[in-house]
Amino acid sequence: MKMDQRWDLNQSGQLQCTLALWKDVQNAPELKKRILSQDIRDVCFINPSLLLDPFCVVVAAKKASEAQLREAMITKSIMTEILFNLSPSKNIRDSLEVYGIRDDSKTLMGLIYLDKNSEAGRLDSLGVKGTRVPLEELESMCDESVIRKKYKASPDITDRASLIKFVTSKIAAKQFI
């Protein structure tokens, strides 16, 4: 079981992201406050109940990094751009409130960007008071019925793999829809 995993975000492999998952989080209000005060700048905390698969986050992170390179971000930071990309809403505030960390968050997914030589240990030093769990546990944390409603998935999409493809496509094509 993998506690975290790296994904290449460009062809050279120079830019990567890694994800981590926590349950039984005790200090979400403190973490949120640290993010808002910019004490924590290099991590994106995401509400895992709205994530079907880690790949959805990777697609949102790839879009955010490309937007930053093109100087075409819609939000003010690359981390908020990830949350905006995950949301089917075009309302930035709604995207951040729904997909980001909340005061009552008991589960969290964290994403950091890395270069290919960086260590992913930064995720362990964020001060999350909770239990780090394998990414495979995301499936048990997500609320598929809420995800179906948010992304307006057709009842014809009956299996999980098809729903993951549908949601990932919506994330990838958001600015075109």
What DSSP string runs through 126-147?
S---SEEE-GGGHHHH--HHHH
Average pLDDT, the chain: 89
Res 112: pLDDT: 86
Q: What domain count does the chain have? A: 1
The answer, yes or no, to whether residue 130 has pLDDT greater than 60, is yes
Tokens coding 62: 């790839």
Query: Looking at residue 116, which CATH number applies to its domain?
Result: 3.30.2380.10
CA 114/CA 63 separation, integer angstroms: 16
pLDDT tops 90 at residue 127: no
pLDDT tens track for 96-108: 999 999 999 999 9
Q: What does the H/E/C string look like for 2-14?
A: CCEEEEECCCCCC
- Indicate the pLDDT class of residue 7, thresholds 50, 70 and 90: low
Q: Which residue has the higher pLDDT, 14 or 77?
A: 77
Could you read off the pLDDT of 114-124 as tens digits, one per residue? Answer: 766 666 566 77
Q: Is the pLDDT of residue 8 over 80?
A: no
pLDDT at res. 41 = 80
Looking at residue 18, its pLDDT comes to: 87
Q: What is the pLDDT of residue 47?
A: 97
Do the Cβ atoms of 19 and 82 come closer than 8 Å?
Answer: no
How far is it, in rounded angstroms, from Cα 58 to Cα 41? 18
CB 44 within 8 A of CB 137: no
Nearest of 116, 118, 109, 122 to residue 83 by alpha carbon: 109
| pLDDT, mean of residues 143-149 | 96
What are the tens digits of pLDDT across the range 65-100?
989 888 999 999 999 999 999 999 999 999 999 999
Query: Domain residues for 152?
Result: 4-176
